[in-house]
Amino acid sequence: MILPPATLGMLGGGQLGRYFVMAAHRLGYKVVVLDPDPASIAGAAADHHIVASYNDQAALHDLASRCEAISCEFENVPATALALLEQYQPVRPGASAVRICQDRREEKAFLCRADIPVALYLALLPEEPIPAQASELFPAILKTAREGYDGKGQWQVSGLDELATVLAASGVPCVLEKRLALEGEFALTLARSPSGAISALPLVQNWHSGGILDQTRSPANVPTLESEAKAIAERLIAALDYVGVLTVEFFLVEGRLLVNELAPRPHNSGHPSIDNAACSQFELQVRALCDLPLPDQIAVRPALLINLLGDLWQHGTPDWATLLALPGLHLHLYGKGEPRPGRKMGHITVTGDDWSTVEETCSKARQLLGLAPPR
């Protein structure tokens, strides 16, 4: 067990890292962030910011010398960097689990080996012929095997000729997935400590727009799906021998949950827990990293989250004062610089004691922001 005032390490400097820093500080820890961006928002909140590449061995040794345990805020930290750090300090999650989540081909293969239901897929290389069975997946979505997020690196394709053109243009390994008739999208965030304790936030329901998370309902309040999701997630966390916070994204298809993706970290859809839960996903991350006790159950209040993308700033800064006058509304701005279209600049969470009040306030907030209802 690693107790405060120990120093913890964080690889990655975005909003997820920033919230980790805030949760760690509240529990009495110090935090060192390693991120190549001098303007890193997590680095600005941390006790020390090492400005260096994730592959910089001197910087990695510096981080290890300053910390007693290390985590990461996104899955694209090089697994080699995590493996190096593991030689000196506990790294949670470990390099082997993160390596699987970094590549859709590895992730899909792992899920199939673990007998976890997924959409039909094929792994493709741009320099190799497209196998004939690809025609069985149309209409389909082609996704880059690595580093795609928020709809980036994804293309909808409807035939072999179109697929060949898009795959060649991508120039990188990809995964072709059958496009499904979705009945809903859900996510479950859970944590496992080195001692083997497991704690989960309630299942949430998500709505996306343009591949980017638009709105989240917490909790989803679908008991049968919640039980199914927890059973799948706990099987995954055991198969990965995972320590830390893991988010499992699900598709609901014909009444059955299929796993879409794994995120070896807290997740945007877990942000309501900052305001509506007795223990947030970021406190869970700190607790799991340090082997502190995990809560048996996490009580939550009704909440709806709305993501704030840079598009909202195209006609000037949104009217925060009017929004903050709405009851139960919590505004989170991440402190990023330029508000580019599609860039997550912050989020709003509306909480309350009953769903009718929360939904009414959320609807008003969307109207004030000029956002259409989620689809």
What's the pLDDT tens digit per position in 163-207?
999 999 999 999 999 999 999 999 999 999 999 999 999 999 999
Over the range 155-194, which residues count as b (16 or more CB within 10 Å of their CB) and which as e?
A: bebeeeeebbebbeebeebbbbbeebeeeebbbbbbbbbb
DSSP structure class, residue 154 = E
> CATH no. for residue 331?
3.30.470.20
Question: Do residue 143 and residue 290 come from a single domain?
Answer: no
Question: Do residue 319 and residue 337 come from a single domain?
Answer: yes
pLDDT of residue 178: 95
Mean pLDDT computed over 337-348: 95
Sign of the alpha-carbon dihedral angle for 187, 124, 148, 104? positive
Question: Do residue 247 and residue 312 come from a single domain?
Answer: yes
Last residue of a domain, one of 111, 143, 178: 178
Question: Do residue 202 and residue 56 come from a single domain?
Answer: no
Instruction: Indicate whether 99 belongs to any domain.
Output: no
Question: Do residue 127 and residue 170 come from a single domain?
Answer: yes
Question: Do residue 59 and residue 77 come from a single domain?
Answer: yes
CA-based nearest residue to 361, from 306, 318, 300: 306
Mean pLDDT computed over 18-30: 98
H or E element that contains 6: none
CA-based nearest residue to 280, from 305, 260, 259: 305
Question: Do residue 209 and residue 137 come from a single domain?
Answer: no
Instruction: Indicate whether 98 belongs to any domain.
Output: no
Last residue of a domain, one of 178, 205, 221: 178
Mean pLDDT computed over 67-76: 95
CA-based nearest residue to 146, from 98, 104, 99, 100: 104
Question: Do residue 324 and residue 364 come from a single domain?
Answer: yes
Mean pLDDT computed over 77-81: 94
Question: Do residue 213 and residue 310 come from a single domain?
Answer: yes
Q: What is the pLDDT of residues 183-192, one digit of tens each?
A: 999 999 999 9
Q: Which residue has the higher pLDDT, 150 or 261?
A: 261
> CATH no. for residue 31?
3.40.50.20
The number of domains in the chain is: 3
With bands split at pLDDT 50, 70 and 90, how would you rate the model's confidence at 283? Answer: very high
Instruction: Indicate whether 234 belongs to any domain.
Output: yes
Strand order in the sheet with 30-34: 48-50, 30-34, 7-11, 69-72
For residue 333, the one-letter residue type is L
Question: Do residue 156 and residue 220 come from a single domain?
Answer: no
CB-based contacts of 284, cutoff 8 Å, min separation 6: 189, 191, 199, 201, 245, 266, 294
Question: Do residue 324 and residue 189 come from a single domain?
Answer: yes
- In percent, the amount of the chain with pLDDT more than 70 equals 99
CA-based nearest residue to 216, from 187, 191, 190, 189: 187
Crossing angle of helices 57-66 and 79-86, in 10° steps, is 40
Instruction: Indicate whether 115 belongs to any domain.
Output: no
Instruction: Indicate whether 26 belongs to any domain.
Output: yes
CA atoms within 13 A on the CB side of 276: 30
H or E element that contains 76: none
Domain that holds residue 15: 7-91
Global pTM reads 0.95
Instruction: Indicate whether 101 belongs to any domain.
Output: no
pLDDT of residue 361: 98
> CATH no. for residue 172?
3.30.1490.20
Instruction: Indicate whether 217 belongs to any domain.
Output: yes
Question: Do residue 189 and residue 159 come from a single domain?
Answer: no
Last residue of a domain, one of 150, 178, 206: 178
H or E element that contains 179: none
In whole angstroms, what separates CA 244 from the centre of its chain? Answer: 13
Retrieve residue 359's tokens. Answer: 């939904």
